[in-house]
Structure 1
C-alpha cells in the first residue's frame, strides 16, 4: 500500500509494506515498513514517525525543555507510542501519559518496543481525553496531540487555558507543529504566558521543517541548554543553537509563496 505524508499544503505518497492494519474505536492504525524510512507508525493514513529518523523529532522535542526546566515530573498529552516518554524516563523524570487510544499503545509495544515503546511499561498511563484530564501539578507538559491543521480546537484559547491549569507556576509547556502552523499556536498560547522560545529541526520522513515552542511564566533558561553537555544521536547544544528561533515569525503563507 501507499501512505500519505500530509501537511497543511502538501501531500506525498510513500510505498509501505504493511505489517499490521486495524481499526480502533478512534482511528485506523497501520504499522508498515518503508524501504527508505524503516518501520513506520501510520494513523488514519498519515505517518506519525519512522524508525530511521524518529530520534531527530523526539530528541528535539524532549531534550531542550527537560534541560531548561530541570523537571522532576512531566506530563505527555498524547504520545501513546511511548518514544517521547522513553527520553524523559532516561532523564530520570517521573512521566505520565494521557492517551485516548489504548490500541495505539498496544500496537506500539508490539512493534516498537526496542525503539522506545518499552516506556509504556514504566510510565504512569492514563487512558482518556487530554481536554478532560484534571490531575497533577507538573513541572513540564508536552502537548503531543493531533496536528493543528486537523484538530485546531486542540490549540484554541480554551484548550490552552486547560493545559496551563495542569502546569505548576514555574513550569514549561511545549508544543510542536508543522512549520506553517506554529504562528497559529503561538497566537493562542502567547497571551497566557510571559515567556516563550521557538526552535526547529528538519525531519526527513515528515518532508518538513518541524517546529517546537516552549512557554512559561518564568524565564526559560536557554543558556542552560546551550551550555549543556548532553548529547543524543541528533541533539547537541550546538544543534539547538543553530535552530533556535528559526520559527518565531513564520509567514503562515510560506508554502503558497514557495
Structure 2
C-alpha cells in the first residue's frame, strides 16, 4: 500500500473486526451492496482474491482462498469418521461448504440451515464459483431458519455437524453458547463429529477458550485443529473438534486409503495436512481450559 493509499482509504474495503488490528482489500469494483433484515451484504472485486463477500464489513469468504477453509472444515471430519452418511451444516449460505461435503459420494443427505435467505440468493448470482451447483444437488435440503432453534427442536441425527458460522457478534453470537453446543451434540449419532470455526486464536483467544470449555464438558475427545486462510488475518484459524468416537486415532495409511477411495480433488487438504493440523503451537495450547 503506497503512502497516498495509507492517507486515503477510499476504494478500499476496511475490516475492523478487532480492536487493535484492521485489514484492507482494494476494491476494483463493488458488485453488490445491500442491507437485509439481518446484516449488510457486499460483494467486491479484488485483484488478488477475486470476488469477496463481506457481512457488516467483515470478510466472510473469497473466490481466491475459500478452498482452504471449506476443505478443512468438511473433509477432516468426514474422512476421519469414515462412514458419514448424513451431514448438517449450520450457516454456509454461500454454498462453499455444501460444495465440498457433496464431493463425497458416500454422503447421502445434507441439511443446510441458513438464517438469511438473502445470503443464499445473492451468492447464487454473485458468487456462483463458491457453490458450483451445490444448491441443485438432490442430496441437499436447504432450511431457512435460525440454526440454534433448529438443533434445539429437530429429531434428526447426523454423523457430522459443521458449524459454518460468522463471528460471535450479531446473528452469529448464539452459535457460540454452551447451550447451543449441547443441543448440537444431541443431534449427533453415537460416533458423530462436531466441528466449528473458532476464529484466529492470536486475536480471538477468548472465543476459542470458551468453546473448548464447553467441548471439554460435552465430549470424550475434544480440541481444535488449525488452518491458515490469508483473508482471516492474524495467524492460523482454529477449527473446533468434538466427538465421543475414536475418529482422531486414525493412522496416516488408513487416512490415505480413505482419501484415495473418496476420489475427490482438493487444493489444500491432504492426509498429511489432516494429521498435522492437530499439532498446536504453545500459545494455542495455553488457551485450552
**How far apart in 1 are the matches of 2:71 and 2:41?**
24
- Equivalent positions of 1:127-146 (< 5 A) are 127-133=144-150, 134-135=153-154, 136-146=156-166
- TM-score w.r.t. structure 1 length? 0.89
Structure 2 gap segments, 5+ residues each: 1-10, 260-264
Report the Cα offset of residue 251 of structure 1.
4.3
**How far apart in 1 are the matches of 2:132 and 2:56?**
20
Q: Which stretch of the first structure deviates more once superposed, 106-115 or 242-251?
A: 242-251
In the other structure, the counterpart of 1:167 is: 188
Report the Cα offset of residue 80 of structure 1.
0.7
The correspondence for 1:184, drawn from 188, 210, 222, is: 210
Report the Cα offset of residue 66 of structure 1.
0.5
**Residues 241 and 168 of structure 1: is their aligned pair in 2 closer, same or farther, counting only changes over 3 Å?**
closer
**Residues 247 and 13 of structure 1: is their aligned pair in 2 closer, same or farther, counting only changes over 3 Å?**
same
In the other structure, the counterpart of 2:98 is: 85
Structure 1 gap segments, 5+ residues each: 253-258
**How far apart in 1 are the matches of 2:31 and 2:157?**
39
Q: Over residues 44-99 of structure 1, what are the superposed CA-to-partner deviations in whole Å (9 max), with x where a residue is unaligned?
A: 11110111111011111111101011210100011111100111111022211000
In the other structure, the counterpart of 2:52 is: 40
Choose 1 or 2 for highest CA Rg: 2
**How far apart in 2 are the matches of 1:164 and 1:97?**
17
**How far apart in 1 are the matches of 2:219 and 2:99?**
28
**Residues 137 and 11 of structure 1: is their aligned pair in 2 closer, same or farther, counting only changes over 3 Å?**
same
**Residues 227 and 149 of structure 1: is their aligned pair in 2 closer, same or farther, counting only changes over 3 Å?**
farther
In the other structure, the counterpart of 1:14 is: 25
**How far apart in 1 are the matches of 2:253 and 2:23?**
35
Query: How many residue pairs align between the two structures?
Result: 252
**Residues 247 and 169 of structure 1: is their aligned pair in 2 closer, same or farther, counting only changes over 3 Å?**
farther
CA RMSD of aligned residues (A): 2.1
- Equivalent positions of 1:103-252 (< 5 A) are 103-122=118-137, 123-133=140-150, 134-135=153-154, 136-148=156-168, 151-178=172-199, 179=201, 180=205, 181-207=207-233, 208-223=235-250, 227-229=254-256, 230=259, 232-246=266-280, 249-251=284-286
Q: Which stretch of the first structure deviates more once superposed, 228-237 or 102-111?
A: 228-237
Q: Which has the higher strand share?
A: 1
Report the Cα offset of residue 118 of structure 1.
2.1
Report the Cα offset of residue 242 of structure 1.
2.7
Q: Over residues 114-143 of structure 1, what are the superposed CA-to-partner deviations in whole Å (9 max), with x where a residue is unaligned?
A: 332521222100000011112211111011
Q: Is the 8 A contact 2:25 2:46 kept in 1?
A: yes
- SS of equivalent to 1:131: helix
- TM-score w.r.t. structure 2 length? 0.80
